[in-house]
Amino acid sequence: MAVILVALGGNALQRSGGAGDWAEARRHMRSSAEALVEVLVDGHALALTHGNGPQVGQLLRQNELAAREVAPRPLDVLVAESQGQIGYLLAQELEAALRRAKLPQSVLVFVSRMEVKANDPAFRHPTKPVGRFYTDAESRPLRKLTGWTLAYDGARAGWRRVVPSPIPLKWVEADPVRAFLGRSWGGHIVPVVAGGGGVPVVRERAGGYRAVEAVIDKDRAAAVAGRALGAETLAIVTDVPGIAIGFRKSWERWLRDVATEELEAHRKAGEFAEGTMGPKVDAILSFLREGGRLGIVCDIPTLRRALRGQAGTRVSAGRR
């Protein structure tokens, strides 16, 4: 039985221009759950991870608004909090879809930590935007009061907090989760792991881990978690139907079946932006280098067809 790790993007819960409330998140997750059930119907073992960008942004805003009455929580706590709330929603909607399909699987959510290097260059050069936009007048006192790094977004004429996004090295809970699932994991449990990229931690010399203020890219973390679980396929679900070169240009071309060498060549040619498709491509390439067999990028409606080779971008290791 092939193990498929599906990495759900933030659009599985919340989409641009929407209300951003819990009812909307439930609707989107319900439609995503139906697509995930199709993977199980086809006989695969399924594991899940997810993004948390919009949700962490909302939690940061709640921190700001309630700061006079409730002590703000650090970013690592908010990442853990988002794992809980999104994992709960996934469990609710996916288990309901499983019962409708008369399937026996259960969903189990694991709060996950991801080890990063204390000297990762990202800590010296934070680039990951989080939270809302601020005006010039708001940004000046914020720097003094909080010590945040703020970056200016010319397209939106506003300042936004940026935090480090270090490279994930190791999923801390990998061994106990594998032991729990068992050597003969037959897909009776759908684990939800490394949500939002995992809570970033660094290993202390005396043992144990120390949390750090950062946000790990969820696709790069998915590659780490996928290999730890022995997944053969990493399917990254986003809001476009695959990987394109010349995206939104007159020469745009969507990739269907490609080998790693071709994808790496496009990456080196600057085809994939760091803030959009770049991390997804890096995650796929990393997953395949570490022993994975297939990487997929697709949207949620075409997930089943992409796994069957009929849609999306499918990346295989080695030359074709």
DSSP 8-58: E-GGGT--TTS--SHHHHHHHHHHHHHHHHHHHHTT-EEEEEE--HHHHHH
Asked if residue 31 has pLDDT above 60, the reply is yes
The chain-wide mean pLDDT, for the chain, equals 91
Report the distance separating Cα 181 and Cα 252, nearest Å. Answer: 43
Mean pLDDT of the region 158-173? 94
Asked if residue 243 has pLDDT above 80, the reply is yes
- CA 49 from centroid of its chain's CA atoms: 6
What is the SS3 assignment for 246? coil
Query: Which one is predicted more confidently, 1 or 36?
Result: 36
Predicted local distance difference test score (pLDDT) of residue 32: 93
Tracing tokens 């193990």 back to the chain, one arrives at: 3
**Contact present, 76 and 199 (Cβ < 8 Å):** yes
Neighbour count for residue 156 (Cβ, 10 Å): 9
C-alpha torsion angle, residues 56, 59, 63, 69 (rounded to 10): -160
Predicted local distance difference test score (pLDDT) of residue 19: 67
Let me know if 89 is exposed, middle or buried by CB neighbors in 10 A (0-12, 13-18, 19+).
Answer: buried
Of 230, 221, 151, nearest in space to 185 by CA? 230
Give the active site residues: 10-11, 128, 218, 280
**Contact present, 116 and 52 (Cβ < 8 Å):** no
Asked if residue 126 has pLDDT above 80, the reply is yes
Of 72, 42, 45, nearest in space to 60 by CA? 72
Report the distance separating Cα 54 and Cα 164, nearest Å. Answer: 17
Of 60, 46, 39, 35, nearest in space to 3 by CA? 46
Tens digit of each residue's pLDDT (9 = 90 or more) over 267-315: 999 999 877 899 999 999 999 999 999 999 999 999 999 999 999 999 9
Mean pLDDT of the region 177-187? 81
Mean pLDDT of the region 96-108? 96
Asked if residue 320 has pLDDT above 50, the reply is no
* Range from 139-153, 184-198, 283-297 that averages highest in pLDDT: 283-297
Mean pLDDT of the region 197-204? 97
Asked if residue 11 has pLDDT above 80, the reply is no
Domain boundaries, the chain: 3-116+169-316
Treating both helix axes as pointing N-terminal to C-terminal, what angle do 260-268 and 278-289 enclose, rounded to 10 degrees? 140
Q: Domain 3-116+169-316 sits in which CATH superfamily?
A: Acetylglutamate kinase-like (3.40.1160.10)
Report the distance separating Cα 235 and Cα 115, nearest Å. Answer: 23
Report the distance separating Cα 44 and Cα 1, nearest Å. Answer: 6
Predicted local distance difference test score (pLDDT) of residue 207: 85
For residue 141, give the amino acid letter: P
Of the chain, the percentage scoring pLDDT greater than 90 comes to 72
Residues 6+ apart with CB under 8 A from 229: 3, 5, 47, 174, 177, 178, 181, 191, 193
